[in-house]
Chain A
Amino acid sequence: MEVVEGTSRRVEGRDASNRSPIPPAFRSLVWFLAILASLVLAWELYKVVGKALEGIVPLPVRPDNKSMPHVWDIVGVLFTRRLPNEPILLVVLLRESLFTFREALIGFAVGTAVGFSLAIAFSQSRLLERAFMPYVVASQTVPLVAIAPIIVIWGAKIGWPVWISVSIISAYLVFFPVAINTLRGLRSPDPTAMELMRSYAAGRRDTLWKVQAPAAMPFIFSALKISATASVVGALVGELPSSLNQGLGRALLSFMYTFITGPEKLFAAILVASLLSMSFVGVIATVEHYVLRNRRGSR
Chain B
Amino acid sequence: MSEHAVVAEGVGKVFNAGSTDQVEALKGIDLTIEGGEFVSLIGPSGCGKSTLLRLIGDLVQPSSGRLEVNGKTPHQARLDRDYAMVFQKATLLEWRTVGKNVQLPLEIMGVDKADRERRSRDYLDLVQLGEFVDHYPWQLSGGMQQRVAIARGLVFDPALLLMDEPFGALDEMTRERMQMELMDIWRRTGKTVVFVTHSIPEAVFLSTRVVVMSPRPGRITDVIDVDLPQPRTFDTRESTPYYEKMTEVREALRAAGVGVE
Chain A: residues with CB nearer than 8 A to chain B? 14-16, 190, 192-193, 195-202, 206, 210-211, 214, 217, 294-296
Flag if B78 contacts A199 (CB, 8 Å). yes
Partner of A200, one of B87, B93, B94, B109: B109
User: Does B3 belong to the interface (CB within 8 Å)?
Assistant: no
Q: A193-B91, A196-B85 are in contact. Are A210 and B104 (CB under 8 A)?
A: yes
Flag if A199 contacts B59 (CB, 8 Å). yes
Partner of A192, one of B57, B87, B105, B107: B87
Partner of A199, one of B83, B94, B109: B83
Flag if B59 contacts A195 (CB, 8 Å). yes
Q: A14-B139, A199-B57 are in contact. Are A295 and B95 (CB under 8 A)?
A: yes
Partner of A201, one of B54, B78, B136, B138: B78
Flag if B95 contacts A196 (CB, 8 Å). no
The closest CB in chain A to the CB of B100 belongs to A210
Per-position 1/0 for B102-121, Cβ under 8 A of A: 00110111000000000000
Flag if B93 contacts A199 (CB, 8 Å). no
Per-position 1/0 for B180-205, Cβ under 8 A of A: 00000000000000000000000000
Give the CA-CA distance A208 to B105 in the complex, in Å: 15
Flag if A294 contacts B79 (CB, 8 Å). no
Instruction: Please count how many residues in chain B sit with their CB below 8 Å of the partner chain's CB atoms.
Output: 25
Partner of B87, one of A16, A196, A202, A211: A196
Shortest Cβ distance from residue B187 to the other chain A in the assembled complex, whole angstroms: 25
The closest CB in chain A to the CB of B95 belongs to A214
Can you report 30 A-B residue pairs in the complex whose CB atoms are below 8 A from each other? Answer: A14-B139, A190-B91, A192-B91, A195-B54, A195-B85, A196-B85, A196-B87, A196-B91, A198-B58, A198-B59, A199-B57, A199-B59, A199-B84, A200-B81, A200-B104, A200-B109, A201-B79, A201-B80, A202-B108, A206-B107, A210-B104, A211-B93, A214-B93, A214-B95, A217-B95, A294-B95, A294-B136, A296-B94, A296-B136, A296-B138
Most buried by B among A199, A210, A214, A294: A199
User: Does B89 belong to the interface (CB within 8 Å)?
Assistant: yes
Give the CA-CA distance A14 to B136 in the complex, in Å: 10
The 10 A-B pairs of least Cβ separation, nearest first, read A296-B138, A192-B91, A199-B85, A214-B95, A202-B108, A201-B79, A200-B108, A14-B139, A195-B59, A200-B105
